[in-house]
Chains A and B, each alone.
Chain A
Amino acid sequence: MSNILLAGFGGQGILFAGKQIVLAGMKLGKNVSWLPSYGPEMRGGTCNCSVIVEDEPIGSPLVTKPDILLAFNTPSFDKFESKVVKGGMLFVDSSLVSKKSERDDIKAYYIPATELADENGLPGMANVIMLGFIVKKTGLFDEEFFKESLNSGIPASKAHLAAANHKALEIGFGYEC
């Protein structure tokens, strides 16, 4: 179904966003895997996460040729944009990445997720806005279903952020570009 690569800075919620996709896929009975880059990762350093949602059993958990790429910073855009498969989709946080893809064999979307988050009093939730946007544009999941799924994916310690997460998701669902 989909090989998804999420990439950006540590601290942007890349791993969390990837996990929400996997959780939703699992609830639909798909085969799923989630593999983070790990090691000397830190807030501000680079960070990426391979996510696979498939009907077939999953072979390699490492996504080297994504169907869908989420680029949350310029180094990630530079590193992975060329790796997106023909006919694939590229989602860019245009608040943080000023470059545009020159490829005509992929669909590229630019969403100022970080600015939208800040403007709406949702600092740090650009990742969830982006999730809403990709769910809508890719049709990976039904919007209502994904909202419910996100609810159950929020850890107990962050339960008070449920409303904010929903708001962020709605912004993503509703964004047009």
Chain B
Amino acid sequence: MLMKGNEVIGEAAIRAGCRYFFGYPITPQTELAEYLAKKMPKVGGLCLQAESEVAAINMVLGCNASGERAFTSSSSPGVSLKSEGISYIIGSDLPCVIVNVQRGGPGLGGIQPAQSDYLQATKALGHGDQHFIVLAPAYVQEIATLMGEAFDLADIYRTPVMLLADGALGQMMEPVDFEAKKQRTLPEKTWAACGHGNKREHNVVNSLYISPEVLEQTVLARFERYKLIEEKEVMYDGYMTEDADICIVSYGITARIAKTAVKAAREKGIKAGLFRPITLWPYPKKQLSALADKVKKFLVVEMNMGQMVDDVKVATDCRRPVEFFGRTGGIIPTPDEILAKIEEMNGGAD
């Protein structure tokens, strides 16, 4: 099936059993809401255009609190608006899926593809001690599998999961197979605030804890879950890293462009490779650290000003030089530009 990335997000959500979408339109992800507006009623679901991003994320909070799968989607400026709600969802230990089809920033920025929300997504989208899982697809096919994974991971760990895409992935069409996702065993939602005919105590979904001792305990318990996520849910991909001297570290759409550059470098006799984090949080620290034993230099390639560079330095204990190449503001780097940087790092072009 040939589909647009944005539509695949919607279809994968429906196939994951999600029946509730709350959003507010913004380029370049609006086709997603358009798709769901058509499809959700046909499967007995609801696609609602809220009055604002803030309203949409709070509707998602309420819907997930009742135990239903619900998600929201936006692009960069809209995701910033959702940040308060996302922190509340974390504080309430609710599962939730958030899609960010990134565009250039800061401010209203532009509408072309970017990856300049990396730090926002992986470090501190909302206030408080918090993390959430961030998945970065590089292919339309991967959107289909990761979107399904996002709902499962959210339910298993009672945490928001963000699908961090970009305008190009959202807009492009590629063949997609929705059957590729592996099945997971999901826990029962015993905590859900839903009807029970007075057969049990009321469940309360809340993020307010006035007593610091109690609040600290909730945070510590959550960080125990984060530890589990870091142990069990790291995803990454590698290409020709085995004998690489120069290893590119890149994610999402940029990683596939970098892959083309790696192939071109290999043809020129330069031993280049590519390491692609698929989970941006949890970050594949151990795997990168192991690579640092083998490669001579790292090159981070992103569509931003180098937001992932520090993560690579920390993961590798700065044992190897980490250089950066990127374009920002909505410009997609070309394989040639990346290749030129690889050649420069290799001691200049022939």
Q: Which residues of A contact B (CB under 8 A)?
A: 19, 22-23, 26, 32-36, 38-40, 58-62, 64
Complex formed: what's the CA distance from A79 to B175 in Å? 30
Q: A60 vs B263: C-alpha distance in the bound complex, in angstroms?
A: 12
Contacts of B334 in A (CB 8 A): 60, 62, 64
Q: How many B residues touch the partner, as a band?
A: 20 to 34
Besides A32-B175, A33-B172, 8 new A-B residue pairs in contact (Cβ under 8 A), listed by A number: A19-B2, A23-B2, A26-B175, A36-B171, A38-B171, A39-B28, A58-B256, A60-B256
Does any Cβ of A come within 8 Å of B167's Cβ? yes
Cβ B260 vs Cβ A60 within 8 A: yes
Residues of chain A lying within 8 A (CB to CB) of residue B300? none
Chain B at the A interface: mostly helix, strand, loop or mixed? helix
Bound Cα distance A33, B263 (Å): 19
- Could you tell me the distance in whole angstroms from the C-beta of B173 to the nearest C-beta in chain A? 4
Contact at B167–A34, with CB atoms within 8 Å? no
List, in ascending order, chain A residues with CB within 8 A of B168's CB: 35, 61-62
Q: A32-B175, A60-B335, A62-B332 are in contact. Are A38 and B257 (CB under 8 A)?
A: no
Residues of B within 8 A of A36 (CB): 171-172
- Give the complex CA separation of A38 and B168 in angstroms: 9
25 contacts between A and B (CB under 8 A): A19-B2, A22-B173, A23-B2, A32-B2, A32-B175, A33-B173, A34-B172, A34-B173, A35-B168, A35-B171, A36-B172, A38-B27, A38-B167, A39-B111, A58-B256, A59-B257, A59-B261, A60-B256, A60-B257, A60-B260, A60-B335, A61-B174, A61-B256, A64-B334, A64-B336
Interface centre among B167, B174, B259, B332 (most CB of A within 10 A): B174
Neighbour of A59 across the interface among B167, B171, B172, B260, CB < 8 A: B260
Q: Which residues of A contact B261 (CB under 8 A)?
A: 59
Closest chain B residue to A36, Cβ basis: B171
Do A32 and B260 touch (CB < 8 A)? no
Q: A60-B260, A60-B334, A62-B168 are in contact. Are A38 and B111 (CB under 8 A)?
A: yes
Interface centre among B2, B259, B260, B263 (most CB of A within 10 A): B2
B27 near A33: Cβ-Cβ < 8 Å: no
Q: Report how far A35 CA is from B139 CA in the complex, Å.
A: 12
Which A residues lie within 8 Å of B173 (CB)?
A: 19, 22, 33-35
Task: Give chain B residues whose Cβ lies under 8 Å from the Cβ of A26.
Answer: 2, 175
Give per-residue flags for B253-284: 1 if the beta carbon is below 8 A from chain A beta carbons, else 0: 10011111101000000000000000000000
**Which of chain A's residues have a CB closer than 8 A to the CB of B287?**
none
| B172 (CB) vs chain A CBs: closest residue | A35
On whether A61 and B172 interact (CB within 8 A), knowing A22-B2, A23-B2, the answer reads yes
A39 lies within 8 A of B112 (CB) = yes
Q: How far is the CB of B258 from chain A (nearest CB, A)?
A: 8
